[in-house]
Amino acid sequence: VPDLPDLLVVGSGFFGLTVAERCASELDLKVLVLDRRHHLGGNAYSEKEPTTGIEVHKYGAHLFHTSNQKVWDYVTRFTTFTGYQHRVFARYQGQVYSFPMNLGLINQFFGKAHTPEEARELIAKQASEFDTETAANLEEKAISLIGRPLYEAFVKGYTAKQWQTDPTELSPDIITRLPVRYTYDNRYFNDTYEGLPTDGYTAWLTRMADHPNIEVRLETDFFDQSNGVAEQFKGKVPIVYTGPIDEYFGNSEGRLSWRTVDLEQSVVDVDDFQGTSVVNANDEDLPYTRILEFKHFHPERVKTHLPGKTVIVHEYSRFAEEGDEPYYPINTAEDREKLLKYRELAKLEPMVLFGGRLGTYKYLDMHMAIGSALSMYENKLRPHFADGAELKSGGVDE
């Protein structure tokens, strides 16, 4: 048997790299990290578009934000952040609106100035059909928060394209990600800390893995029969698995459903295409959900960008088929039933811990994936490796 590492990590996204970094740096363990892609970093990976020098997030725009002090203290060991504050605009019927719901949007949409109090009264009247507390689905929840006219303009069409599912069948949680404000504050996130990694996501992710005890092996699939990785490690060393939980069990309980996004990238011959980084396409008849323009994420890099050109990406959302990248868990009642069965199976799996976005079937922001990996390290891995505690198998974080 060739030298076995102390720990095998499947997946080099933020979850896997956080676990690997902690175990290597704090406990001096030898960690092998596998990834089936040709690069590390999972979905946060980014690279420069070669002709323009503009950094492009390859799996969709990634904005870092957190109010978790522990996560912030941890991530700032590996990168500094720019002062970027995310703002999103919404295109609807030939106009571009200040987004998310705020006083600017309300005034623009209703064509008149409102004080915060007047706006509250107006929306309260339009929202009285449903009660926020008892709203049973996305449509009811959204209407209870912003009223029907704004729902129909800014949520209905966008959500139909994003989910291709009737909003009355979607979970009310999805919409609570969007803030509603009766001020002119149009920042997208409410968190204490926000910014973009100064020298890019890949530089940050690469520094997390830059430790003599960490080996990252790319283009290596844990399930590839021809290299026999799974057989070589299963039951012999502890494994942290961050791939899809259903795939681990050969989809025995059926596939969990996901949405994927087609990202159509183009370089266009104008210096500035839309004047900002993200414009949502709220009209239902535009086939894409939004357009990203990457140079606006880093205005401080203007001198390194080729003038007269810009990189834009149209996003198209659809149901993920086999072989597509799983992006957003759909989480229907049927999915939840399957997930419970997979969790039961996971509990029986010796020395394997399931984590991350794919391993838990949960939409996790980056700070949540990192926070959850730090907890797995503190509550399970460190007690096991440092104090000899039994590694209770199959922990899928609830």
Place of tokens 């030898």: 30
How many whole angstroms separate alpha carbon 398 and alpha carbon 387?
24
Residues that bind ligand UDP (CB under 6 A): 90, 154-155, 158-159, 162, 174-175, 177-178, 280, 282
Which one of ligand FAD, ligand UDP, none is in contact with 376 (Cβ closer than 5 to 8 A by kind)? none
SS3 257: coil
Positions touching ligand FAD (CB under 6 A) are: 10-16, 34-37, 42-44, 59-64, 221-223, 242-243, 261, 327, 356-358, 364-367, 369
**Position 10, amino acid:** V
Mark whether 290 is an active-site residue. Answer: yes
Q: Nearer to ligand FAD by C-beta: 151 or 222? A: 222
Give the three-state DSSP class for 259.
strand
Q: Which does 356 bind (CB under 5 to 8 A by kind): ligand FAD, ligand UDP, none?
A: ligand FAD
Closer residue to ligand FAD in complex, CB, 73/117: 73
Q: CB atoms < 10 A from the CB of 157, how many?
A: 19
Least separation in angstroms between residue 151's CB and ligand FAD is: 24
Cross-strand bridge partners of residue 267 = 311
Task: List the one residue out of 283, 280, 273, 261 whose CA is nearest residue 312.
Answer: 273
Query: Which partner, ligand FAD, ligand UDP, none, binds residue 362 by CB below 5 to 8 Å per kind?
Result: none
Task: For the chain, give the number of residues.
Answer: 398
Q: Is 315 one of the catalytic residues?
A: yes
Whether residue 177 lies in the annotated active site: yes
* Closest distance to ligand FAD from the beta carbon of 357 (Å): 4
User: Is 248 part of the annotated catalytic residue set?
Assistant: no
Which residue, 182 or 328, is less far from ligand FAD as judged by CB? 328
Distance in angstroms (rounded) separating the CA atoms of residues 200 and 82: 10
In the complex, least distance from residue 315 CB atom to ligand UDP, rounded to whole angstroms:
8
Compare residues 11 and 394 and give the one whose CB is closer to ligand FAD: 11
* Distance set, CA 14 to CA 10, 126, 371 (Å): 12, 42, 10
User: Which amino acid does the sequence have at 143?
Assistant: I
16 binds, among ligand UDP, ligand FAD, none (CB under 5 to 8 A by kind): ligand FAD
Element (H, E) at 154: none
Annotated catalytic residue within 118, 120, 363, 382? 363
Across the beta sheet with 239-241, the strand order is 214-217, 31-34, 7-10, 239-241, 352-354
- Active site residue ranges: 177, 181, 259, 290, 315, 363, 365
